Amino acid sequence: MTGMDVRLGKKRVTAQAIALSLLTALGATATQADDYFKGKTIRLVVGAPPGGGYDTYGRVVARHLAEYLPGHPTVVVINMVGASGMNATTWLYTQAPRDGTVIATFNKSMPFYQALGQPGARFKAEELSFIGSMSQDPDVVSVWHACGVKSIEDAKTRQVVMGANSGGTMTLYPALLNATVGTRFKIVTGYPGSAAVYLAVEKGEVDGAGSSPWTSWKVSRPAWVRERLIVPLVQVGLKKDPDLADVPLLIDLAQTDEQRALFTFVSAPAAIERPFAGPPGMPSELVDIYRRAFMDMVKSPRLREEVARLNLDFDPQPGETVARIVSDIVTTTPAIVAKLKAITDEGR
């Protein structure tokens, strides 16, 4: 048994002790359960820098969730950046308290990264306590209008420089398209997050962004969308965004059964865009409280009004559905995972 195994074992024992005490507290009386969060502060960890899409959704939820939790706690947002969200997810999995005082939102591709065995994915996403997700908006591979590329077919005829952070889907999507459909994307990594990539596009350092939810463009650069300064080439998701009826889904580009399986695996995380979860080991009663509060919150006219005002995509999923999709992703067949890993390694 390694040192890490011992440490994790101790954490599980601690989590079990917390769970037992919480079960006692929550099960004692309905009044005690109603007051469980009273006077407490909940930290909502956002696994991305300020200013991007995940931060925007995280702050919207922080403004509304407390109204639907027993005791109406204070909810504060903390940004924990690094490794395309894997730092925050690993912290949630290994260190966050299991008593309901910490929840998080992070890159929806965490289970996908886990399935690929990416460095830094030191967690089991299927063990997280999923509360729900806010969107099913597809990612888009997009370019700046002045680069002269208007379609995936154009991207096969010339080199297109794409900005990316240190790994993640910003690198994966262009690499996958290069390997399967013959595009000529040149991937430039090292940007700290999506906001930095958008700035690089604006300054002319790169031609486009290797991956971004379509909502993020609408939130962070609405003028670019309105004036068609940013050109989406392909959507990565299981259903199209209503704004992008003429832009193909990645799955539409499949020419073989293997490509269709690859593209489906890659596209599945979009079905749980903007997920929210607690750490593993939270008592089931506490998870249920969060899930009920989340679903009550997304029905709220006040939240829906704010979402509409911010021009956010809004297509929520309950926690049980998110957990099932995560399980499906991490149990993808080894052959498909191996194929995609080979493409990812080659694209670095």
Same domain, 36 and 144: no
- Predicted confidence at residue 59, as pLDDT, reads 97
Instruction: Identify the three-state secondary structure at position 256.
Output: coil
Q: Which two tokens mark 178? A: 């290069």
- Predicted confidence at residue 167, as pLDDT, reads 65
Say how many domains are in the chain: 2
> Which domain does 125 fall in, by range?
3-136+272-337
Distance CA 164, CA 195 (A): 11
- Predicted confidence at residue 22, as pLDDT, reads 52
Same domain, 42 and 24: yes
CATH number at residue 51: 3.40.190.150
- Predicted confidence at residue 51, as pLDDT, reads 83
Q: Please name the helix (run of DSSP H) or strand (run of DSSP E) that holds residue 232, with its range, or none.
A: strand 230-236
Distance CA 170, CA 140 (A): 10
Same domain, 69 and 46: yes
pLDDT tens digits along 115-171? 988 888 899 999 999 999 999 989 999 999 999 999 999 999 999 999 997 667 888
Q: Do residues 337 and 118 touch, judged by C-beta distance below 8 A?
A: no
Same domain, 276 and 206: no
CA pseudo-torsion sign 294, 298, 303, 309: positive
Same domain, 99 and 167: no
Give Cα separations from 246 to 58, 234, 239, 241, 280 (angstroms). Answer: 30, 10, 13, 10, 41
Distance CA 48, CA 255 (A): 35
Same domain, 276 and 130: yes
Same domain, 184 and 252: yes
Q: Which two tokens mark 1? A: 């048994």
Distance CA 249, CA 141 (A): 11
Same domain, 184 and 64: no
Among the residues of 65-151, which ranges form H helices? 86-94, 110-116
- Predicted confidence at residue 21, as pLDDT, reads 53
- Phi/psi for 167 (5° steps) reads 105, -160
CATH number at residue 246: 3.40.190.10
Distance CA 214, CA 235 (A): 9
Residues of the chain with pLDDT under 70: 1-34, 166-167, 346-348
150-176 exposure pattern, b = at least 16 Cβ within 10 A, e = fewer: eebebbbeeebbbbbbebbbbbbbbbb
pLDDT tens digits along 187-228? 998 888 778 898 999 999 999 999 988 877 887 888 999 999
Distance CA 106, CA 85 (A): 6
3-state helix, strand, coil in the chain (%, to 5): 55, 20, 30
Same domain, 143 and 131: no
- Predicted confidence at residue 116, as pLDDT, reads 87
Question: Which DSSP category does 248 fall into?
Answer: P
Same domain, 330 and 279: yes
Same domain, 89 and 192: no
